Each structure stands twice: as structure tokens, then as C-alpha cells.
Structure 1
Amino acid sequence: MYRLFVAIRPPATIRSQLLAQMAGVPGARWQDDGQLHLTLRFIGQVDRHQADDIADALAGVRFQPFALALAGAGYFERRGVVDTLWAGVQPRDPLAHLHAKVDRACISTGSAPEARAYLPHITLARFSRHGGDIAPFLALHAGLASPAFTVDEFSLYESRLGHAGSSYHAVETYRADGHPGARDD
């Protein structure tokens, strides 16, 4: 079985900027460079046949390159307890359109439709239990911003669980239309 998701990998300059911000919250398990990504679609556990079908279906997703920038910080709660700190991105519309195309490609292979509303973000930290006070971190990073960066590809990733947490491995990368190296099939 394979545990898959589709994501955009921010450029090294953006990842470095994010890594430099990761501190000051007791109990936070900060992401490392290899874990920083912007999820387009979580797929979950699939067998090899469906993984191959998903990879093939994603090859049919067409999109034009677009620009994104970091925009603020936030958090998700589970049962009233903070479990994730994240960095936001703007604008959201091109991501929402790409997410919808990726979702349709996954559905065409038998995957269930995405059940949650799509909120584009880059996860910075996770919490196993009650973490420390996140208010100072959020106040400090409310104005988090970056220069715009170009999104001209996305990848299908496999998530592997290990003693040090999850590691992510790109299975296939899909280029934007009209970008050098774009797929012609």
C-alpha cells in the first residue's frame, strides 16, 4: 500500500524563510525542509494499481504557471485543541482552480471526493498534545510575507512513516502548460 498526496514544493528561498521562523512554541514538532509543501490533495492509502492510475490521471491536469506569496500565519484545531501551525499563501484562486482539477483527476480513478473545504497552507508545526501558547507566535508572524514565487509544477508524493516522523518522496512531477519540460501527452 502507498500513502499518497499531491503537493507543490515551495522554492528553497521560501523554505529557508519558513525554517528561520520556526521557534518559540513549546511542544511544537517543527517540520524540516523535506516536509515543507503546500498540499493540493490528500489521497491516502492506495494499492499499486490505483497509484499508477492516479499518476496517469494527474498527467492530464493542465494549468498555466501562476505566482504565489506567503501571507500570514494561522492554526487548525482538532476538538478545540490546536494541532497545527501553518503559513498562509495568496492569492488563493489559482490554487483553488488547480486543486479542483487535481481532485477531479483523483475522483476519475475511484478516489473519494475531497470532503473538507480547501484552505491552502504550508504546515509549519504539529502538536501531539497541548502545546505551548501559540498567541505570541501568531502575533509575531501575522504579517508573514515573501516575494512572489512562480508555481510551474506540482508533484505526486508518497508519505513514508518512520521513527523520526513522516518523510515525503516525489513519485512524479507534472509541469505547467507552456513551461519548458511540460508534458505533451
Structure 2
Amino acid sequence: MHRLFAAIRPPATIRSALIDLMEGVKGARWQDDEQLHLTLRFIGEVDGRVAEDVAAALGTVHQPPFSIALDGVGQFGSRGRANALWAGVRPHEALRHLHRKIDQAIVRAGLEPERRAYLPHITLARFGRESGGLDAFLARHAGLRSDPFEVTDFALYESRLGHEGASYTIVERYDLSA
């Protein structure tokens, strides 16, 4: 089985700026440089044949390159407990358009459409049961902004879960077309 997702890999300058923020939150399992990405569509576990169909379908996605920038920080949680800390990106419209095209391609490959609302973000940390200092981190970095960076491609990733967290391998890269 292959655990797949489609994502954008931010440039090194953006990843470095995000890594520089990663401190001061108790219980945070910070992402490392290799884990930083902006998910366009989580696909999940599929067998080898379906993985090949997904890879081929994503090759049909075309959209002009576009620019985005970091914009603020936030958290995901449930039942009053944080489970992820993230950096936001803007503008959303080009990302949502690309997300829809990728979702349509994946449906053509035989999988179910995405049911969750799409909120573009880059995960910075994940949490277990404990998260201390999160409010201070969110307040300190609420004004996070970056210069715009151009998105010229996206990739199909395979995720492998391990004791040290997830490791990601690029299966195939797809250039956006002008």
C-alpha cells in the first residue's frame, strides 16, 4: 500500500524562515525541513495500481504558475485541545483552483472526492496530549508575512509513518503550465 498526497514544496528561503519560528511551545513535535509542504490534496492509502492511476491523472492538471506568501499562524484542534500548529498562506483563490483540479483528477482515477473544506496552510508542529505556550506563540507570530514566492509545480508524495514521525518521498513532480 502507498500513502499518498499532492503538495507544494515551499522554496528554501520560506522553509528556513519557518524553521526559525519553531520554539517555545511545550509538547510540540516540530516539522523538519524535509517535512515542510503545503498540502493540496490528501489521497490516503492506495494499492500500486491505483497509485499509478493517480500519478497519471495528476499529469493532466494544468494551471498557470501563481504567487503566494506566508500570512499569519493558526492552530487546528478538537475538544479544546490543539493537535497542529500551522502557517497560513495567501491568496487562497489560485490554491483552491489548483486543489479543485487535483481533486477532479483524483476522482477520474477512481477515488472519492475530497469532503473536507480546504484551508491552505503549512503544518509547523503536531501535538500529543500536551501543548504549553501555544497562545504566546500564536500572539508572537500573528503578523507572520513573507515576500511572495512563485508556485511553478506541485508533487505527488508518498508518506511513510515511523517512530520519528512521517518521512516523505516525492513520487513525481508536475510543472504548472503557462
Could you say which TM-score interval applies, normalised by the shorter chain? over 0.9
CA RMSD of aligned residues (A): 0.7
Report the TM-score when normalising by structure 2.
0.98
Q: Which runs of 5+ in 1 are unaligned?
A: 179-185
Aligned pair count reads: 178
Give CA deviations for 1:20-76 in whole Å, capped at 9, x if unaligned. 000000000000000000000000000000000000000000010000000000000
Distance in 1 (CA, whole Å) between partners of 2:43 and 2:79 is 23
2:106 counterpart residue number: 106
Matches within 5 A, 1:78-93: 78-93=78-93
| Letter in structure 2 aligned against 1:10 | P
Structure 1 segments of 4 or more deviating over 3 A? none
Give CA deviations for 1:133-159 in whole Å, capped at 9, x if unaligned. 311000011000111100000000000
**Is this contact kept in 1: 2:156–2:170, CA < 8 A?**
yes
1:16 counterpart residue number: 16
Distance in 2 (CA, whole Å) between partners of 1:4 and 1:132 is 32
**Is this contact kept in 1: 2:26–2:130, CA < 8 A?**
no
Distance in 1 (CA, whole Å) between partners of 2:130 and 2:20 is 23
Matches within 5 A, 1:5-44: 5-44=5-44
Return the offset for 1:130: 2.3
1:155 counterpart residue number: 155
Q: Percent identity?
A: 60
Secondary structure of the corresponding residue to residue 70 of structure 2: strand
Q: Which runs of 5+ in 2 are unaligned?
A: none
| Letter in structure 1 aligned against 2:119 | L
Which is strand-richer, 1 or 2? 2
Distance in 1 (CA, whole Å) between partners of 2:79 and 2:34 is 28
Report the TM-score when normalising by structure 1.
0.95
